[in-house]
Structure 1
Amino acid sequence: MIHQIGRRTALGLGATLLATPALRAQGRFPDRPIRLIVPWAAGGTTDIQMRVLAEQAARRLGQPVIVENRGGAGGVLGAQQMLNERNDGYVITQMPISVFRHPQMASRPLFNPLEDFTYIIHLTGYLFGVVVKPDAPWNTFQEFLDHAKANPGRVTYGTPGVGTSLHITMEQIAGARGIDWVHVPFRGFAENVTSLLAGQTTALADSSGWSEMVQAGRLKLLVTWSADRAKRFPNVPTLRETGIDIVSASPYGLAGPKGMNPDVVRALHDAFKEALYDPAHMAILDRFDMAPMYLGPDDYATDARRTFATEGEMIRKLGLRL
Structure 2
Amino acid sequence: MTKLTQGRRGFLGAAGGLAGGLAMPALAQERFPSKAFRVLVPWAPGGATDVLMRALCEAASQRLRQPVVVENKSGAGGILGAQALVSSRPDGYTLSQMPVSVFRYPQMVEKPPFDPLADFTWILQLTGYLFGTVVRADAPWQTFGEFLAHAKANPGKVTYGSPGAGTSLHITMEQIGRGQGIEWTHVPFRGAAENLQALLAGQITSSSDSSTWAELVKDGRLRLLCTWGPTRAKRFPEVPTLREAGINIVSDSPYGLAGPAGLDPQVVKVLHDAFHEALLDPLHRGVLDRYDMSVAYLNSEDYAAAARRQYRDDGEMIRRLGLRAG
User: Which TM-score bucket, shorter chain as reference?
Assistant: over 0.9
Partner of 2:13: none
CA gap of 1:297–1:243, structure 2 versus 1, over 3 A, is same
TM-score (norm 1): 0.93
**What's the Cα RMSD here?**
1.1
List alignment gaps of at least 5 residues for structure 1: 1-15
Give, as a single letter, the amino acid of the residue that structure 2 aligns with 1:18: A
Q: 91, 99, 104: which is aligned to 1:101?
A: 104
Give the secondary-structure state (helix, strand or coil) at the position aligned to 1:240: coil
Equivalent in 295, 300, 312 of residue 303 of structure 2: 300
**1:147-182 Cα deviation digits (max 9, x unpaired):** 111111111110000010000000000011100110
**Map of 1:213 onto structure 2:** 216
Instruction: State the partner residue of 2:29.
Output: 24
**Paired amino acid for 2:255:** Y
1:21 positional shift: 2.0
The 5 Å alignment of 1:2-41 reads: 18-19=23-24, 21-24=26-29, 28-41=31-44
Q: Does 1:200 align with 2:206?
A: no
What are the superposed Cα offsets for residues 73-101 of structure 1, whole Å, 9 maximum, x if unpaired? 00000010011100001100000000000
Q: Which residue is 1:8 aligned to? A: none
Q: Could you tell me the percent identity over the aligned residues?
A: 63
Task: Say yes or no: does 1:52 pair with 2:55.
Answer: yes
3-state SS, counterpart of residue 187 of structure 1: coil
Q: 2:159 is matched with which residue: 150, 156, 171? A: 156
Match of 1:18, SS state, is coil
Q: Does 1:257 align with 2:257?
A: no
- Unaligned ranges ≥5, structure 2: 1-20
What SS does the corresponding residue of 2:229 show, helix, strand or coil? Answer: coil
Whichever of the two has the greater Rg, that structure is 1
Q: SS at 1:201's partner residue?
A: coil
- Show the counterpart of 1:174: 177
Contact 2:64 2:274 in 1 (8 A): yes
- Partners in 2 of 1:131 and 1:288 — Cα distance? 15
Q: Which amino acid aligns with 2:227?
A: T
Query: Is the aligned partner of 1:239 residue 2:242?
Result: yes
Distance in 2 separating the partners of 1:30 and 1:234: 44
For 1:150, the aligned partner's letter is: A
Deviations 1:100-121 (A, max 9, x none): 0011111111111011000001
Q: Tell me how far apart the structure 2 counterparts of residues 137 and 163 of structure 1 sit (CA, whole Å).
A: 29
Other structure's SS at 2:35 match: coil
**Secondary structure in 2 matching 1:192:** helix
User: 2: distance between equivalents of 1:225 and 1:125?
Assistant: 11
From 194, 206, 218, the equivalent of 1:191 is: 194
Instruction: State the shift of 1:321 in Å.
Output: 1.1
Measure the CA separation in 2 of the matches of 1:284 and 1:276.
11
User: What corresponds to 2:136 in structure 1?
Assistant: 133
Contact 2:128–2:295 under 8 Å retained in 1: yes
Deviation at 1:22, TM superposition (A): 3.1
The letter for the 1-side match of 2:37 is I
Q: Distance in 2 between matches of 1:20 and 1:271?
A: 20
Once the 2 structures are TM-superposed, how far is the Cα of residue 215 of structure 1 from its aligned partner?
1.0
Between the aligned partners of 1:188 and 1:293, the Cα distance in structure 2 is 23
1:17 is displaced (CA, Å) by 6.1
Identify the match of residue 165 of structure 1 among 155, 163, 168: 168
Q: TM (normalized to structure 2)?
A: 0.92
Deviation of the 1:24 alpha carbon: 3.4
The answer to whether the 8 A contact 2:26-2:91 is kept is: no
Tell me by how many angstroms 1:19 deviates. Answer: 2.8
- The structure 2 residue matched to 1:66, chosen from 66, 69, 72, is 69
CA distance in 2 between partners of 1:321 and 1:54 (Å): 34
Cα distance in 2 between the residues matched to 1:213 and 1:160:
17
Counterpart-to-counterpart distance in 1, 2:25 and 2:72: 33
Aligned-pair distance for 1:246?
0.2
SS class of match (1:22): helix
Stretches of 4+ aligned residues off by more than 6 angstroms: none
Q: Residues 109, 135 of structure 1: CA spacing in aligned structure 2 closer, same or farther, 3 A cutoff?
A: same
3-state SS of 2:23 partner: helix
Q: Distance in 2 between matches of 1:283 and 1:151?
A: 42
Q: What's the offset of the Cα at 1:18?
A: 2.5
Q: 1:318 corresponds to which residue?
A: 321
Residue number in structure 2 paired with 1:9: none
Counterpart amino acid of 2:179? A
How far, CA to CA, are the matches of 2:241 and 2:26 in structure 1?
51
